[in-house]
Amino acid sequence: MENDIVRNKKPFKPVIVLLYGFLILLALVYLLPLAWVVVTSLKDDTVIMTSPWALPEKVMFENYTYAWTMGQMGKALLNSLIVSTATLILSMIIGAMAAFAIAKLQWKLSRLTLLYFMIGMMIPIHCLLIPLFVEFSNMPLLNSILVDHLHLFSEKLSLKDTRIGLIIPYVTFSLPITIYIMVGFFESIPNELFEAAVIDGCSVPHMFVTVAIPMARTGFMVTGLMSFVNNWNELLVALVFLTKEELKTLPLALSKFVGPYHTNYTQMFAAIMIAVIPTIIVYVLFANQIVDGLTAGAVKG
């Protein structure tokens, strides 16, 4: 490694052994609870009260079947997938376009506009829940224009309990950080490339698609993974905007497994597995990009 000369003067010291011992112990603190979720999710619910920490005597895949069908985790998985993917695509397209305009198109107010978007990074979602809830339930302005004046729809529109109603705030909350990171990536592309494209008779959208987007691939990876992970796990906004069972996302559907009188733990753990397996798969595939990307995003946020 880069600091070998100084850092490894005396390679075999007991300190090193101790350090690795500590790291491995800590790794167990991280991995054992998760491994134990896997084990418990395969157990029989009757055994859990007497020996919660033992290995299962017979493997019960029925827990998963129950969580998937009766517990509606299958539906919730699909809902989360639809909402997170739609948010990912929309926020990347809209965010990248805005970032391109700020970084590479030449206009006076570009810096001020960036600053305006940055306000979004300072604001906790909690403050927006109430006004958005009011707006989305009634949509007074939109309804008065579309329904009362233009007569386009016969009934009043409402965004509450719709997927769109969840996707719109998710996209908006993802925008500031997406724009911030993408501006950085677009700015690092040399201007000569764009000038050459102009000489070749390239139009602005053409330039955006053929020069800017391919050059900022890493940026898309970073912002995309970030927005996907965040929205996949989001609970509070979904809790406020969704009440219909068939629309609930994974974090919402999970809380159903805790009953006021009796909780079926094995089924709950099967449900937890269904909720975290997709993120674990994405994490294992892209661990380094995610860690670097989320760090980059966090620093800037």
Q: How far is the CB of 14 from other proteins (least distance, A)?
A: 14
Of 154 and 192, CB closest to other proteins: 192
Of 65 and 251, CB closest to other proteins: 251
Q: How far is the CB of 96 from other proteins (least distance, A)?
A: 9
| Rounded-to-integer distance, Cα 87 and Cα 224, Å | 9
Q: How far is the CB of 77 from other proteins (least distance, A)?
A: 12
CB 236 within 8 A of CB 252: no
Q: How far is the CB of 146 from other proteins (least distance, A)?
A: 15
Burial class of residue 191, CB neighbours in 10 A (0-12, 13-18, 19+): exposed
CB 40 within 8 A of CB 214: no
Q: How far is the CB of 221 from other proteins (least distance, A)?
A: 15
| Rounded-to-integer distance, Cα 83 and Cα 129, Å | 18
Of 65 and 120, CB closest to other proteins: 120
Q: How far is the CB of 134 from other proteins (least distance, A)?
A: 7
CB 161 within 8 A of CB 242: yes
Q: How far is the CB of 59 from other proteins (least distance, A)?
A: 19
Of 43 and 154, CB closest to other proteins: 43
Of 148 and 200, CB closest to other proteins: 200
| Rounded-to-integer distance, Cα 217 and Cα 20, Å | 37
Of 119 and 150, CB closest to other proteins: 119
| Rounded-to-integer distance, Cα 188 and Cα 211, Å | 12
CB 229 within 8 A of CB 173: no
Of 185 and 194, CB closest to other proteins: 194
Sequence-distant (6+) residues with CB within 8 A of 208 are: 97, 100
Sequence-distant (6+) residues with CB within 8 A of 231 are: 83, 84, 87, 88, 170, 174
